[in-house]
Structure 1
């Protein structure tokens, strides 16, 4: 049964990554912003991912989807778990950086 739970979390992370991509596209007014991934788009992704990470963790805790044990490191001020917070922030950023590198390499051929 745990594998279904982890599958759901993984699908949720993928959906959040797509949502973040779409919102960055709206903010930058450029559907293919990933082609020119730069510091500005990085900061926008970082801010959006951080906001989504906080809200997702806060909602999950408030709705008792899960709880933290005494070993979980907590992000000060935000009061959410460090590892789930970082996962939601780092995964989209890495995905976008890798995608940008692949696109850039392909375009130079």
Structure 2
């Protein structure tokens, strides 16, 4: 099932929603963002969707998909990409097994 305004979300066997985490106000607009992972996206290398904060909470409009390669990291199965990406964003590093894996921000 596709999810409106969330690119590629809802594809069969991507495990969209593996982890959901409040990310805080990353873009400094006064509204907290939400991260949603799909550990099996991109041939099991994983991806994370960032949903921007809205007046009533996170919104799918304007969401974006982040993969290891989209932030300059190697795109391979079981990459530790999320922890590396978190550190480049000034976020605390956490363990992760895949980009967007079960270690997503927690």
Same topology, TM > 0.5:
no
CA radius of gyration, larger in: 1
Report the TM-score, using the length of structure 1 for normalisation. Answer: 0.26
Report the TM-score, using the length of structure 2 for normalisation. Answer: 0.27
Give the number of the structure whose residues are more often helix, by fraction.
1
Give the number of the structure whose residues are more often strand, by fraction.
2
Structure possessing the higher relative contact order (Cα contacts under 8 Å, 6 or more residues apart): 1
